[in-house]
A and B are shown apart, each in its own frame.
Chain A
Amino acid sequence: MYPFDERTGRRRFLKVLGAAGAAAGAGTLPGCASFGSKEHELAKDAVAKARWGREAGAWIPSCCNMCGGQSGILVHVVDGVVEKIEPNHWNPNNYSNISSDFFDGYSEAYGCKEGGVICPKGNAGILQLYDPDRVKTPLKRRNPERVPGADPQWQEISWEQALDEIAGKMRALRDAGDAHQLLWISEDHSFTHIQDDFCKLFGTPNYGVHSNLCDVARKASFKVVMGHDRPLADFIQAKYILLFGWNPTSATKWIFLPRIITRAIERGARLVVIDPYLSDTAAKAHEWVPIRPATDGALALALGHVIVRDELYDREFVQKWTVGFDRYRDYIRDKTPEWAEAITSVPAATIERLARELAATKPALVDVWSGPGQHSNGVQGGRAIAMLNTLVGAWDRPGGMVIPDKRGEKHTEVEPDERAEHTLKQARFDELEKYPLGHKSGVYTRLFSNLAEGGGPYAAKMLMCIFQNPMMSVPGTPIVARALARLETVVVIDTMMSETAMMADYVLPGTVYLERYDLNSHWVTWPVLGLRQPVVKPLFGQPAEYEVVAALGRRLGLRDKSGKDFFRTGPLSGAPLEDLTAWYEDYLSNELKKGAPGITLEQLKSLPGAVWVDRGGTKYEKYAEPIPTGKLAVAWFDGDRRADGTAVYDRPKDRGGRRIGTVIGGVPVTGFATPSGKVEFFSAKLAEKKDALGRAVDPRPVYAPRDWQPSPEYPLFLINWKETSHTHTRTQNNPWLLDIKPENPLIVHPDTAARFRVADGDTVVVESPYGSVTARVATSRRMHPEVVGLQHGFGHWALGRQARGRGTSDAALRPATADPLSGMALHKETCVRLRRI
């Protein structure tokens, strides 16, 4: 029968005719050529609607964790099944990072005026939960050979056995006085406090989190310049937005970004994106400025040169609120647009024009993310970029770079016992202290290269790896593989059989965010705290990660200094709590009660959208706020009370005083959290430092070429980036996300493709001195001709059946190295050549 296809097993023609006739009794004879379709009543199922419709079941407010963005979500759960995930209108993270915008038209009944939004990943969370490839039971490796590709010969074991054995290995380390030989790494937005507590009570200084694979270069740059490590761009009120190497409308770190950026453009802002690749954000920009990778700092210096040369800078701000301007001016005197053109490939005339636009349009802001940051000169380049905000007076002003008020939950630091204290004094295995602008998240590249090469301050024995996939996410896959092979015990907790899980001795099934708790203090400019809560029970009866941590702590009998049985005693109630979940709920209540919300977990659950939003809202120019009289009465001044720059403490410095401000313009004010209390063009503190390679650190925001430059043999820059379709290396088994982005072709400029005699669609070998991978070429003039690049996250050889064999991982093409100032992994410092196969 012609309309039907036997192959796909569709029903038979006659059956349909019967059904159609019965259902409608329509006057039309089916099958006849009665062109012009008639309206009739459609069948409905009221019973099923009562069971499954929007009014059935419950809509539970929570927070997403498909990425680190922590958007608010509403989860429709029917009979224990997640039916749908929708945006949570009460959570500012889904709408705006500025309170005046969020509260404009806000109502308790509906939330923000236009309603919140969530990204494709947030919508696709259901398939992350119901992925058939999830790890379901604890697994123990039987094959002692730990190399990629080897069959681990998994043995399914019980949770009791798994926890007993893992605790046993930990106990052996601790009993031998080697607690510090336990390394522990985790994702940076989930249940980090309890892991930190565990490490301290156990006695290892080696807790690290994901951030050093992400943005610690940016953090370091801003921290040196103006004392805060994550100022947030007030896009919606800006009139000129200059972005260096950031793709915020697609690499949606926070989902309010697409709205506030497109809205800014609507309200007349000009958006300029500097990037080697015409990113999806650049596609929304008025102007895309292609740039040679890792030369952003030189461009920023030349922009500064023009602004200072033509005296277009915010003179009042610079005079009152900065130090070292003369040194900066001297340094940039010869950093002309012509100088920068040769370095950056951006025409001098463009630089002149951009500088004038930036300085003449108010309010203007300049922001940078990981594009320029993940190179060996990233921190200094970031400083030069951040400094432009100083020249245009953008700090903490509407439409500028706002310093967020991060008050949220309070993590009570544990006091370890004497034995733990002893091993905590050991150096960190990743030698973080050698990085003068290092971040507490550690230095993963150093950790793994030390393991692989037998370096580091001592021999580490055991790794706990929670919700991390260093085999693909740390530069230098072969080095990470060698590193893992040298450890005595590797434990991975993950929802999926990641490439790293395949190298482990024990794999424990993790929880998807819909199965567990967390507190999320959000990345908006005023205090907001959202709750993540289990909307369904863990599918396989597994304990959540924090319960695993507590269960291990109990097995080890970890006690704090006062002798309290930490993981059995409710931190808020002080009462013994046997049930692990109840204990953790008490732990969270404690953090909430002692933090800014001052409420319990149950109270947070009952707030609209399960999110606590401080009504005080966004505050600007906090640096100019006078120190309150009450505090001032008892304050201690480190010098002349009237002299500019005198530091102010809450009590004498030698009695443990905490700095609360600086005398500026004769008045004690909050100031900036830098050593001088002002924005620093020149960092006297940096001048005293050595970088991780033992070299003196330049106190000026200098441009120096990155270490690895293209050569005749490897003539192309290779970069990578993030897009909204996937998160890192962990969502490539999600079919809905694969529908919108099934692989990551290598984007090559057509001229470059011609030079290497490759064509669109060809499979090529991408070679560096460190390795080679294959990739499919997609030619596009969206790419700088000297550069090739791809979206990060693909190229799995594990993870799940959908993910395997799709696209390319470029992690094997580079060594495991970090920027010597901040410890930032150098994901983008790679040079390659292409070879057709």
Chain B
Amino acid sequence: MPANTLFEAKRETATVTEAHEGGPSVHEMSRRGLLDHLTKIGAGALAAAMSVGGALPAIARAQAAPASPRPTRRKFRYGMVIDTRRCVGCRACMVACKAENKTPPGVFYTVVFDHVIEPRIDDKPLFLTKPCFHCEHPPCVDVCPVSATYKREQDGIVVVDYDRCIGCRYCMTACPYSARWFDFDENYPAVEQETRYAEVPSPEYNQFRRRESGKSPVGNVRKCHFCMHLQDENGEYDKAAGRWPACAKTCTGKAIHFGDFLDPESEVSRLVRERVAIRLKEELGTEPNVFYLL
């Protein structure tokens, strides 16, 4: 990765981090400081591609599953294909994620943007949801000083080991997509004021941690893990049994497709093959496993 691009990425995510620390919600953030965020995270390519209709600029042509899977223990390559034509901007994914992972205020594993991408006479917004992209070459992983965050060999999911994370937030600055969040020990009233809901632990990583001040994941960096706790012992999801990422399960427009890119017959592989699919900031070489359909 060219050093200057990484630097730029760091700088812009730092802006985002500041906004988080001030405690405003995502929506306020999107209205205020992050107006250009979408363009910065690479949706400019998306806008450009859309403006030329069917003819797609070469830069935006995304590669489907890699030509030759790595000869490792890799069993799956989990990822998402998000259909921007189906996303209605309802934000059910954001709330379903909160309900599933019990994330605290200020932590959103996915965020819905409604920015005006293409300046037009009418400020028409483009909706899209942005989870962690679980990149093939995740810059966030490379910078972790304690090996707390890593990309799983078997399925490519980028995880955080809360028992190791020291909360230094290098990874947050390294992520070009602002997909990582710091847990500042804030709590929703239902947790803070000891309703029975405060008893409910987060199922993340099958660790079922009950929220407690001073204990992980408070003080850790947190991120989307494709609801990894819903995998069975073979590492497989099961949509019919409800073991499927919460955002995809609730998506009101059925815009979020989830699956395995190593399986050429999977819905996600087929969609990337058959439709115009792009990835954000393709030029960084991060190779996100989340594609957007135009």
Q: Flag the segment in B5-13, B194-202, B276-284 that touches A.
A: B194-202
Q: From residue A114, how far is it (CB to closest CB) to chain B in Å?
A: 6
Chain B residues positioned under 8 Å from A43 (CB to CB): 161, 163, 205, 207
In the complex, A616 has a CB within 8 A of chain B: no
Identify which of B161, B208, B252 contacts A42 (C-beta below 8 A): B161
Structural contact, B144 and A37, CB atoms closer than 8 A = yes
Query: B147 contacts which of A34, A117, A120, A131 (Cβ < 8 Å)?
Result: A34
- Identify A114's interface contact among B28, B164, B254, CB under 8 A: B254
Q: Which of A608-654 contact B (CB under 8 A)?
A: none
Q: In whole angstroms, how far apart are the Cα atoms of A348 and B148 in the complex?
A: 64
Give the secondary structure class of B's interface. loop
Closest CB in chain A relative to B191 CB, distance in Å: 9
Interface string of A350-392 (1 = CB under 8 A from B): 0000000000000000000000000000000000000000000
Chain A residues with CB below 8 A from B255, complex form: 262
Binds B, one of A20-28, A462-470, A493-501: A20-28
Say whether B91 contacts A30, CB under 8 Å: no
Distance in Å: Cβ of A760 to nearest Cβ of chain B: 9
Q: Across the interface, do A724 and B167 meet the contact criterion of CB distance under 8 Å?
A: no
A11 to B251, CA, bound (A): 37
Q: Does A132 contact B (CB under 8 A)?
A: yes
Which residue in A19, A83, A280 is a CB contact (below 8 Å) of B89? A280
Identify the stretch in A163-171, A395-403, A734-742 within 8 Å (CB) of chain B at 4 or more residues: A734-742
Contact A35 B143 (CB under 8 A): yes
B290 to A: closest C-beta gap in Å: 19
Residue among B99, B114, B163, B196 having the largest count of chain A Cβ atoms under 10 Å: B99
- The 8 Å CB contact of A38, one of B147, B163, B250, is B147
How far does the alpha carbon of A40 sit from the alpha carbon of B105 in the complex, in Å? Answer: 29
Q: What is the chain A residue whose CB lies nearest that of B32?
A: A761
- Tell me how far the C-beta of B115 lies from the nearest C-beta in chain A, rounded to whole angstroms: 11
A48 at interface (Cβ–Cβ under 8 A)? Answer: yes
How far is A84 from B98 in the complex, measured between Cα atoms in Å? 10
Q: Is B253 an interface residue (CB 8 A)?
A: yes
Q: A23 to chain B: which residues have CB within 8 Å?
A: 161, 163-164
Q: In the assembled complex, which residues on chain A have CB atoms less than 8 Å from the CB atom of B25?
A: 738-740, 742
B197 in complex: contacting residue of A126, A283, A725, CB < 8 Å: A126
Q: Which residues of A contact B251 (CB under 8 A)?
A: 117
Residue count of chain B within 8 Å CB distance of chain A: 87
Cross-chain contact B146 with A28 (CB below 8 angstroms): yes
Q: Are A31 and B99 in touch, CB under 8 angstroms?
A: no
A483 to chain B, nearest CB (A): 33
- Asked whether, in the complex, the Cβ of A132 is within 8 Å of the Cβ of B193, the reply is yes
B144-161 contacts to A (CB < 8 Å) = 144-153, 159, 161
B224 contacts A by Cβ under 8 Å: no
Q: How far is the CB of B293 from chain A (nearest CB, A)?
A: 11
Q: Which of A181-189, A248-256, A406-414 contacts B (4 or more CB under 8 A)?
A: A248-256
User: How far is the CB of A527 from the nearest CB of chain B, in Å?
Assistant: 24
Provided the pairs A85-B99, A127-B188 are in contact, do residues A39 and B88 lie with their beta carbons within 8 angstroms? no
Counting CB contacts under 8 A, is A454 at the interface?
Answer: no
Contact, CB under 8 Å: B189 / A801: yes
Q: Is the CB of A3 within 8 A of B169?
A: yes
Taking A8-B219, A11-B219, A83-B200 as contacts, is the C-beta distance between A31 and B145 under 8 angstroms? Answer: yes
The answer to the question of B31 belonging to the interface, with a C-beta cut-off of 8 Å to chain A, is yes
Shortest CB–CB separation between residue B71 and chain A, in angstroms? 16
The winner among B163, B213, B218 for most chain A CB atoms within 10 A is B163
B294 on interface, CB distance cutoff 8 Å: no
Known: A37-B142, A114-B254. A740 touches B91 (CB 8 A): yes
Instruction: Name the residue of chain A whose CB is nearest to the CB of B161.
Output: A42
| A85 and B96 alpha carbons, distance in the complex (Å) | 8
Is the C-beta of B265 less than 8 angstroms from some C-beta in chain A?
Answer: no
| Chain B contacts for A281, CB-based, 8 A | 88
Confirm or deny: A10 has a beta carbon within 8 angstroms of a beta carbon on chain B. yes
Binds A, one of B42-50, B51-59, B62-70, B120-128: B120-128
Contact between A258 and B90 (Cβ–Cβ < 8 Å)? yes
Residues on B with beta carbons closer than 8 Å to the beta carbon of A44: 205-207
- Residue B86 at the chain A interface, CB threshold 8 Å: yes
CB proximity to B under 8 Å, residues A77-133: 78, 80-87, 109-110, 114-115, 117-124, 126-127, 129-133
Complex Cα spacing A724 to B26, Å? 16
B184 within 8 Å of A by Cβ? Answer: yes
Residues of B within 8 A of A74 (CB): 242
**Bound CA–CA A830/B215 (angstroms):** 53
Chain B residues with CB below 8 A from A485, complex form:
none
B149 neighbours in A (Cβ, 8 Å): 37
- Asked if B271 lies at the interface with its beta carbon under 8 angstroms from chain A, I say no
Q: Which residue of A lies closest to B90 (CB)?
A: A724
**Cβ A265 vs Cβ B85 within 8 A:** yes
Asked if B190 lies at the interface with its beta carbon under 8 angstroms from chain A, I say: yes
Within the complex, what minimum Cβ distance (angstroms) separates B203 from chain A?
Answer: 7
* Chain A nearest CB, measured from B105 CB (Å): 7
Q: Note all chain B residues with C-beta closer than 8 A to A255.
A: 252
Is the CB–CB distance between A252 and B203 below 8 Å?
no
- Say yes or no: A49 contacts B150, CB within 8 Å: no
On chain A, the residues within 8 Å of B105 by CB distance are: 735, 739
Assess whether B230 is in contact with A54, with CB atoms less than 8 Å apart: yes
User: Which of chain B's residues 231-261 have a Cβ closer than 8 Å to chain A?
Assistant: 239-243, 249-255
Q: Are A250 and B166 in contact (CB under 8 A)?
A: no
**Interface check A259, CB cutoff 8 A:** yes
Question: Does B189 lie within 8 Å of A123, measured CB to CB?
Answer: no
- Contact indicator B185/A249 (Cβ below 8 Å): no
Within 8 Å by CB of A37, from B147, B199, B206, B207, lies B147
CB contacts (< 8 Å) of B114 on chain A: these are: 280, 283
A780 touches B253 (CB 8 A): no
Using A127-B190, A278-B122 as known contacts, say yes or no to A250 and B90 having CB atoms under 8 A apart.
yes
- Per the bound structure, the CA–CA distance linking A43 and B90 in Å amounts to 35
**A598 to B254 alpha-carbon distance, docked (Å):** 34
**Contact flags (1/0) for B79-92 with A, using CB distance below 8 Å?**
00000011011111
Q: Verify A30–B250 contact, CB threshold 8 A.
A: no
Residue of A nearest to B86 (CB): A262
Contact A20 B100 (CB under 8 A): no
**Interface positions of B from 107 to 141, Cβ below 8 Å from A:** 108, 112, 114, 121-127, 141
Whether B150 lies near A40 (C-beta < 8 A) is yes
Closest chain A residue to B166, Cβ basis: A16
Q: Collect the chain B residues with CB atoms within 8 Å of residue A127's CB.
A: 188, 190, 197
Tell me the smallest distance from the CB of A170 to a CB of chain B, in Å. 34
Given contacts A3-B169, A745-B31, 10 further A-B contacts (CB under 8 A): A35-B143, A51-B208, A80-B196, A82-B197, A84-B99, A119-B90, A126-B99, A278-B124, A539-B196, A740-B27
The 8 closest A-B pairs by CB, nearest first: A10-B219, A48-B208, A130-B197, A20-B164, A781-B123, A130-B190, A3-B168, A132-B193
